[in-house]
């Protein structure tokens, strides 16, 4: 093992740019570090509780399940009472539909009685023909609403019959006369109840807002679950409620200073591990500001992204494509640096995420396989083949972890495998962002070296055609220099590319050189 060179270490630590990078990263990571407890229990409905007997350490409410809340919403929607408003102009509209000539031909006492009967009918309420089967409705008249039975309201036909019967009772002789019968038969009554959708929706929303998210409370010291007891749905619901309250407030109800000190220690320890890994694997990175900045960027990226996903959409943690950062590292730094830096950058997941150990294993498997497969095939459709390998590795890690922690594996977690498939696909897709990182950190990716060294590119094809002897000489130099640089641990891909182009100027006058 290489010994620690104190002078070399001091020279790297005296580099001001590194300090500035670490200071910025430290502030960012400290800001994003979550102030919440990390629940230490893992459980599943139907499995045995493998921890000690658990009693409530504090009071907490029992949260309703999503299914229970959805059932309440459906019940409210089924029992929703529509809201109707009385149209005061309906009486005048009906009277207005009777022509002036018809009204003039009616006896005055008959016209007065007709108006009185119409006002009586409309005061009872004439309902529209839609919403048949509705039980109760709210009817608002002059700002006062009351609940009435839908069937107690009159249909237009029932209202017409009511008017006809009332007039016949008032004028038994006149109603049978030919002058009145046509008028009465053609009388049309329009509904005076108008459906108020805005108010109905407002009442619906108000009812939904009154749904309580809780259905009881567990008091301090109350028994929750015993060791070895099978976790039922009811127990799991109580445990979920305990977990929610624990993550929300436990440990941070007092002074904020202790957790901040803890966060500072963890972040500084992470920086120290990165420095040690870089120092013993590729010391020169400490002298290259852009490469050092890039490594700290990867460290921050793998720290912040899982925290944000946990905060806003924790169910999608299995989709986070952290494995792609291993390929980013492979694209810009030496191979022997990639794995230690990548594994160190994932360490915060063990502390911050609830199922941190499983996710850490899944992410490390994804990164290790991606690093290996992209070393051999990183072009065209073969990238998606790499995604398949990554998916298999993550799935096996998930199965292995589940078997080792629960003792069994029920293949009912299809959603997790779907998420892992999306994860592998995102790794392939987000790898294309490497060109942006090239511009951002002013570095050259491995893929660029490969493109330069591709003898099928335009410039090297022209060299091969115009100066074939020089082209063969360049190939020999490239092969020898590549093997020499590999032996001393240098950047063989860069040297090979340089060797292929070192005589490209001979294209201008190839006949002037004897090898051509």
Beta carbons of 167 and 137 less than 8 angstroms apart: no
Which residues, 6+ apart, have CB-to-CB distance to 52 below 8 Å?
A: 227
Give the Cβ contact number of residue 229 at 10 Å.
13
Distance of CA 444 to the CA centre of its chain: 33
Could you give the residue ranges of the DSSP H alpha helices within 45-89? 66-78
Rounded to whole angstroms, how far apart are CA atoms 83 and 131? 12
Which residues, 6+ apart, have CB-to-CB distance to 404 below 8 Å?
A: none
Element (DSSP H or E) covering residue 135: none
Burial class (CB in 10 A: 0-12, 13-18, 19+), 372: middle
* pLDDT per 10-residue tile (average), the chain, 516 residues: 54 70 95 77 82 88 89 88 81 62 59 76 79 74 80 81 77 55 66 86 90 90 89 90 77 67 94 93 87 95 94 90 93 89 95 88 95 78 87 94 75 80 93 89 79 80 86 88 83 84 87 79
Beta carbons of 251 and 41 less than 8 angstroms apart: no
Which DSSP symbol is given to 455? T
Which pLDDT score, from 0 to 100, does residue 176 have?
Answer: 46
Beta carbons of 242 and 55 less than 8 angstroms apart: no
Rounded to whole angstroms, how far apart are CA atoms 510 and 287? 42
Start-to-end CA span in the chain (Å)? 50
132 backbone φψ class: left, alpha, beta (φ>0; ψ -120 to 50): beta
Beta carbons of 190 and 8 less than 8 angstroms apart: no
Which pLDDT score, from 0 to 100, does residue 101 have?
Answer: 44
Which DSSP symbol is given to 375? T
Rounded to whole angstroms, how far apart are CA atoms 392 and 65? 33
Element (DSSP H or E) covering residue 410: none
Which pLDDT score, from 0 to 100, does residue 378 have?
Answer: 66
């Amino acid at each position: 093992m290489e010994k620690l060179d104190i002078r070399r270490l001091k020279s790297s630590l005296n580099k001001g740019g590194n300090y500035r990078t670490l200071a910025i990263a430290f502030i960012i990571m400290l800001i994003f570090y979550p102030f919440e407890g990390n629940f230490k229990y893992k459980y599943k409905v139907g499995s045995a509780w493998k921890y000690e007997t658990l009693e409530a350490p504090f009071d907490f409410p029992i949260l309703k399940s999503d299914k229970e809340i959805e059932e309440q919403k459906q019940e409210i929607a089924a029992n929703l009472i529509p809201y109707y408003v009385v149209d005061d102009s309906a009486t005048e509209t009906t009277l207005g539909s009777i022509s002036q000539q018809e009204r003039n031909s009616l006896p005055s006492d008959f016209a007065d009685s007709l108006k009185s009967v119409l006002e009586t009918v409309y005061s009872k309420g004439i309902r529209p023909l839609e919403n048949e089967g509705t039980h109760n409705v709210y009817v608002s008249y002059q700002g006062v609403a009351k609940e009435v039975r839908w069937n107690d309201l009159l249909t237009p036909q029932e209202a017409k019959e009511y008017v006809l019967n009332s007039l016949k009772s008032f004028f038994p002789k006149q109603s049978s006369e030919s002058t009145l019968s046509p008028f009465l038969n053609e009388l049309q009554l329009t509904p005076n109840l108008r459906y108020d959708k805005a108010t109905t929706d407002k009442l619906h929303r108000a009812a939904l807002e009154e749904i309580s998210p809780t259905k009881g409370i567990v008091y301090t010291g109350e028994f929750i679950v015993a060791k070895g007891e099978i976790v039922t749905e009811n127990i799991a619901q109580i445990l979920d409620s305990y977990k929610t309250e624990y993550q929300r407030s436990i440990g941070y109800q007092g002074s904020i200073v202790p957790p901040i000190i803890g966060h500072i220690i963890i972040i500084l320890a992470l920086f120290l591990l990165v420095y040690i890994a870089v120092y013993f694997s590729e010391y020169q990175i400490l002298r290259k500001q852009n490469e050092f900045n890039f490594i700290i960027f990867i460290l921050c990226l793998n720290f912040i992204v899982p925290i944000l996903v946990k905060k806003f959409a924790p169910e999608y943690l299995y989709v986070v494509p952290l494995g792609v950062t291993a390929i980013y590292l492979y694209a810009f730094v030496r191979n022997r640096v990639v794995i230690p830096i990548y594994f160190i950058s994932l360490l915060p997941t063990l502390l911050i995420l609830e199922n941190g150990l499983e996710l850490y294993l899944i992410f490390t498997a994804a990164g290790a396989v991606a690093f290996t497969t992209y070393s051999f095939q990183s072009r065209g459709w073969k990238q998606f083949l790499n995604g398949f390998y990554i998916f298999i590795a993550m799935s096996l890690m998930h199965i292995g972890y589940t078997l080792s922690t629960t003792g069994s594996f029920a293949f009912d977690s299809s959603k997790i495998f779907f998420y892992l498939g999306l994860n592998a696909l995102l790794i392939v897709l987000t790898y294309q962002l490497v060109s942006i990182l090239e511009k951002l950190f002013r570095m050259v990716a491995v893929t660029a070296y490969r493109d330069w060294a591709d003898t099928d590119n335009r410039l090297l094809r022209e060299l091969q055609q115009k100066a074939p002897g020089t082209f063969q000489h360049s190939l020999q130099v490239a092969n020898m220099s590549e093997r020499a640089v590999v032996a001393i641990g240098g950047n063989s891909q860069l040297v090979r590319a340089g060797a292929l182009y070192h005589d490209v100027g001979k294209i201008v006058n190839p006949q002037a050189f004897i090898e051509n």
